[in-house]
């Protein structure tokens, strides 16, 4: 396997710049402060090794015409997103544009061998369809904590405890593999292709089945001492609250995760507080988060209270995070369809009312506009950050 990687710091900086799109020689030299001789030497080596190619002449700035350079068609990343009930895989080019993507329902609880085996098959299928002979790297998102390429979440992922996920993908796909939790991967996707692109410091709050937070500080993902930075799901909010999947009482996720919201909705339906949710529960035999969203949007007061309570608690947690980390922006992803803007308005209300103006005066709180694309782009970004770095 020919491992395509930069050989020195200058080459690493050049390929990372080109990851954001084609550049002229003149631009590359200016941005990196490299002499013409050094630039030519390093670019020639990158071209010779198949990492960079000429993309035609650049627009003239007067004088000698400069050629446009880009990452070569030989640079291809794969992205694997393993969710609780679904696998999504994608193949991207060097600029992390998604070239092909596919996915299917999968039960993460069926264990790592089955899930990883199927993900590898799906990547193989995409490679065959899009003519990708070799992968430059693969980035994998897991729906639980990851430390050093190994899954460490027995409660959420039975059978995955201490499973060497990174090594399994690296062996099967014959390329460097990187593994991280989904909130971190989503934050990387926002950093590359979303609104996070223009911020050095931002916070990505992931809602849904599990709640998590990705933290980009000084332009890099911050993982903490044992890779658990941003693991806010089990922050205690109330000692008298609902029981959480972790066994504790009153965790953020027990209130604001999908299961917590549904549990509260069922209670509202059964107690007679919500006629809309009661009718839906009678008809379907259960309730879902989209049911709560539909009832809230239709004006059911109890459903609206549920949504507002959820947002208020998320807002309270964000008040603490924002005052501690002072991010430039907060991006919220994974909000249920139709509920995003209601949640956002309430979260903004709490954060702006309760935070120090110096921390939040110019800090936007927005919904991610990348939706599912953040995860697949983030997986490719994870892999490329590793491959395009020289120790």
Stretch that binds Zn ion, among 90-98, 101-109, 242-250, 356-364 (CB under 5 A): 242-250
Shorter beta-carbon distance to Zn ion: residue 258 or 300:
258
- Residue 323, classified by CB atoms within 10 Å of its CB into exposed (0-12), middle (13-18) or buried (19+), is middle
Stretch that binds Zn ion, among 13-21, 251-259, 266-274, 294-302 (CB under 5 A): 251-259
Residues in CB range of 7: below 8 A, 6 or more apart: 45, 49, 390
According to the binding rule CB under 5 A, does residue 251 interact with Zn ion?
A: yes
Shorter beta-carbon distance to Zn ion: residue 154 or 174:
154
Cβ 244 to Zn ion, closest distance in Å? 3
Dist CA 10 CA 35 (whole Å): 11
Cβ 183 to Zn ion, closest distance in Å? 15
According to the binding rule CB under 5 A, does residue 49 interact with Zn ion?
A: no
Cβ 143 to Zn ion, closest distance in Å? 15
Stretch that binds Zn ion, among 11-19, 186-194, 247-255, 303-311 (CB under 5 A): 247-255
Per residue, what are the HEC states of 81-113?
Answer: EECCCEEEEEEECCCCCEEEEEEEECCHHHCHH
Cβ 242 to Zn ion, closest distance in Å? 10
Residue with tokens 């934050």: 187
Dist CA 85 CA 6 (whole Å): 37
> Which of 246, 284, 298, 345 contacts Zn ion by CB under 5 A?
246
Q: Over the range 51-65, which residues count as b (16 or more CB within 10 Å of their CB) and which as e?
A: bbbebeebeeeeeee
Cβ 309 to Zn ion, closest distance in Å? 18
96: left (phi over 0), alpha (psi -120 to 50) or beta: left
Dist CA 280 CA 292 (whole Å): 10
Stretch that binds Zn ion, among 131-139, 179-187, 244-252, 309-317 (CB under 5 A): 244-252
Cβ 153 to Zn ion, closest distance in Å? 12
Residues 200-239 touching Zn ion, rule: CB under 5 A, are: 234
Shorter beta-carbon distance to Zn ion: residue 251 or 387:
251
> Which of 34, 51, 244, 306 contacts Zn ion by CB under 5 A?
244
Binding mask 296-335 for Zn ion (x = CB under 5 A): ----------------------------------------
Instruction: State the number of binding residues for Zn ion (CB under 5 A).
Output: 5
Cβ 213 to Zn ion, closest distance in Å? 15
Dist CA 156 CA 210 (whole Å): 9
Cβ pair 322, 356 in contact under 8 A: no
> Which of 101, 134, 248, 309 contacts Zn ion by CB under 5 A?
248
Phi, psi of 277, deg, nearest 5: -70, -35
Edge-to-edge strands of the sheet including 23-24? 23-24, 67-71, 52-57
Cβ 258 to Zn ion, closest distance in Å? 14
182, two tokens: 């989904």
Shorter beta-carbon distance to Zn ion: residue 174 or 236:
236
3-state secondary structure of 77: strand
Shorter beta-carbon distance to Zn ion: residue 234 or 263:
234
Cβ 155 to Zn ion, closest distance in Å? 9
Torsion of CA 285, 286, 290, 296, to 10 degrees: 90
Shorter beta-carbon distance to Zn ion: residue 251 or 278:
251
Dist CA 51 CA 43 (whole Å): 9
Dist CA 289 CA 294 (whole Å): 9
Shorter beta-carbon distance to Zn ion: residue 235 or 297:
235
Which positions lie near Zn ion, rule CB under 5 A?
234, 244, 246, 248, 251
């Amino acid at each position: 396997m020919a491992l395509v990687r930069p050989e020195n710091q200058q080459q690493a900086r050049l390929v990372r710049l080109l990851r954001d799109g084609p550049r002229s020689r003149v631009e590359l030299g200016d941005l990196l402060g490299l002499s013409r001789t050094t630039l030519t030497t390093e670019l020639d080596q990158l071209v010779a090794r198949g990492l960079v190619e000429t993309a035609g002449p650049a627009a003239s700035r007067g004088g000698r015409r400069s050629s446009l350079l880009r990452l070569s068609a030989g640079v291809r990343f794969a992205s694997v997103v393993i969710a609780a009930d679904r696998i999504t895989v994608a193949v991207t080019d060097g600029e992390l544009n998604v070239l092909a993507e596919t996915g299917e329902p999968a039960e993460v609880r069926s264990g790592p061998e089955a899930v990883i085996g199927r993900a590898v098959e799906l990547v193989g299928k995409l490679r065959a369809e899009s003519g990708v002979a070799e992968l430059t790297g693969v980035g994998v998102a897991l729906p639980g904590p990851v430390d050093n390429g190994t899954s460490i979440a027995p409660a959420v992922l039975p059978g995955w405890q201490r499973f060497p996920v990174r090594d399994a993908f690296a062996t099967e796909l014959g390329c460097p593999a990187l593994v991280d939790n989904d909130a971190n991967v989503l934050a990387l996707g926002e950093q590359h292709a979303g609104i996070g692109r223009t911020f050095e410091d931002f916070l990505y709050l992931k809602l849904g089945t599990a709640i998590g937070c990705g933290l980009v500080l000084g332009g890099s993902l911050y993982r903490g001492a044992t890779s658990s930075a941003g693991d806010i799901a089990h922050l205690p909010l109330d000692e008298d609250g609902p029981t959480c999947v972790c066994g504790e009482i009153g965790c953020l996720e027990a209130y604001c995760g999908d299961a917590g919201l549904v549990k509260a909705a069922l209670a509202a339906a059964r107690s007679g507080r919500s006629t809309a949710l009661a009718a839906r529960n009678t008809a379907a035999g259960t309730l879902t988060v989209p049911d709560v969203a539909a009832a809230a949007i239709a004006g059911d007061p109890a459903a609206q209270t549920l949504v507002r309570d959820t947002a208020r608690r998320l807002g309270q947690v964000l008040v603490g995070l924002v005052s501690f980390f002072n991010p430039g922006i907060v991006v919220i992803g994974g909000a249920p369809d139709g509920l995003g803007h209601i949640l956002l308005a309430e979260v903004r209300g709490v954060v702006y009312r309760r935070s120090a103006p110096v921390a939040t005066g110019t800090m936007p709180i927005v919904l991610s506009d990348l939706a599912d694309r953040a995860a697949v782009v983030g997986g490719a970004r994870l892999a490329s950050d590793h491959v395009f770095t020289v120790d």
